[in-house]
Structure 1
């Protein structure tokens, strides 16, 4: 990427090289089912019972690989924190205990959520990068479609990064690789701490699409979760929590959703930013 330092560029090249060598492990999962349309009362009943996220199988081809958590220290420069940088994304374990960090969306410009343990008073450089996913080991930046410098929050917590209207929309059935990087080393002698994964835009069946157009946000969250659409389900639930910060049922559902993907330690952390 033309605006990045050489160490970051070399680091991303190595990351792509490593993910191309991963072996595939496709989990056996129950087929997602779509419930019938419900009233507000029915949606709340489903929420109280705990909505189940039906994690989809990995896409065909090379496994996506990725990195769910970033290390707390790099080169002795980062502040020590109780929790690492973490992407709020589901993952599956592949061959040799390697994680595959991969999820689906139905929208052209989705949102990502990250737990960031550092605050704006620290002089760390933070970047979000989105690339067209390709089995390429060269340093060419031609497949980068979005790059943004990210401001650290006022306090540790979960932040939102959204693809803006000025960026190219995600194409259907195409995979994109994202990176969230924190460079704590002013001299940039060490690689940044980072998380990485793959996102793919898909279409839901016509019945689900029709219901999504006419139902409330709470029910939309349930539909996305039942159909394995991680990014849209998480965004819908995050928006509900922001609108109803004292709702105990929504807080419990947030903990249930993140707990289902083994991010229990992040579930109690506050959402500190809803800005793109």
Structure 2
């Protein structure tokens, strides 16, 4: 379904209301000091200055590259482990318990360990993002496979499907929709992990700009960085939603009242 102007207006209304209240409380009513909470207009001006006179575009590109590599690595690993654990009981015995243990560990807690193992270069940053992005994919793929209706499996066997054919034509298609939901979750978590990863002595990326802004108490630049992180998360969600519409456009689902 294509986005109509009315639909776009509805989807952006909440953000516009927040921006209006923010502008009212800062620029109009002056409830906050400019150095504590700048107005949206000030933040926009700062963004334009960073683009025009700084290397903001290049720094954002660096962060996007980190996030993309980490998401691809994490999603691939999570989907593979979820499929192995869901399809074979021995795979579940070997994989599920360690994954569930690691899932309980916040990815921020493994930052010191990754520094010891891999230093402070690009590799630990990418691995932190991959670590955070892998678990939603694993859980959803594993759960989707194990929740396939047993009647479908029995019917497929009656029609003579071999085990590889059963996996290809019955089980894996049933896991597509949960996997796409997991992709949206992984995209969102990857941005959170990116923020944590770029605190590892980053010399480039949005986190580098954020660190400098924090040192010089530049709340306007901090808000620009936060807005960019939010935009990256939204972009990732839109990509996952687009894939879901393209791959599952034939499904008729409830869209709300």
After TM superposition, is the score higher than 0.5? no
* Structure of larger gyration radius: 2
